[in-house]
Homo-oligomer: A and B are copies of this chain.
Amino acid sequence: MINRVVLVGRLTKDPELRYTPSGVAMARFILAVNRTFTNQQGEKEADFINCLVWRKQAENAANYLRKGSLAGVEGRIQTGSYEGQDGKRVYTTDVVADSVQYLEPRNGQASPNNSTTGQTLEHQRRSSEYQQPQTQPNYTRVDEDPFVNSSGPVEVLDDDLPF
C-alpha cells in the first residue's frame, strides 16, 4: 500500500491555525496548482487542493506562509466524512503534509506574522471544530528557520562539489 503526494503551488489564502483540545497545532490551507494544459476553450485552469499540517510544521506554516506564497507539500491523501447540516454525509479529501517547503525567499519583514498581525489569534477565535488549548503547548516558540533552504542562491562553492 502506497499513498504519496507531492505538490507545488500557491496558497489561495493565509493558512488557518487551530489547536485540538489537547493542544496540538494544526494548520489548513488550499494550494492552487496550475495545470500544465488548457481546457477545450484554451484556458489555463487550476486544481485547488486542501492541505493540512500538524504540530510545529503547522505553526511554521501559519507564521511564514501567506496568501500567494509558493509552497511545496509532501504527504498523503486522507479521506474522511462528516455529517452535513442537512444530515447528509459529506465526503472529504485532504492532503496531509509530512513536510512543507517554503519556495520563496523570506520577504522583508523581520518578524513572523503572528507577532504583528494578531491574525493567528483571530483564526483561533473563529475556530469551531477545535477548542483552544488550556495550556500553552511547549512548542509555541518557533526555533527552527524553515527558510534555511529557500532564502538565497544556495551558495554552492565550487570546492564543495564532488565533481
Contacts and interface: CB of A to CB of B under 8 A. Distances in A.
A33 B72 CA distance: 13
Interface residues on A, range: 35 or more
Contact of A101 (B1, B74, B78, B95): B1
B156 A32 contact: yes
Contact of A10 (B44, B95, B153, B161): B153
A48 B10 contact: no
Interface of A: 1-10, 12, 30, 32-36, 43-50, 68, 70, 72, 74, 76-81, 86, 89, 91, 93, 95, 99, 101, 103, 148-150, 153-154, 156, 160-163
A34 B149 contact: yes
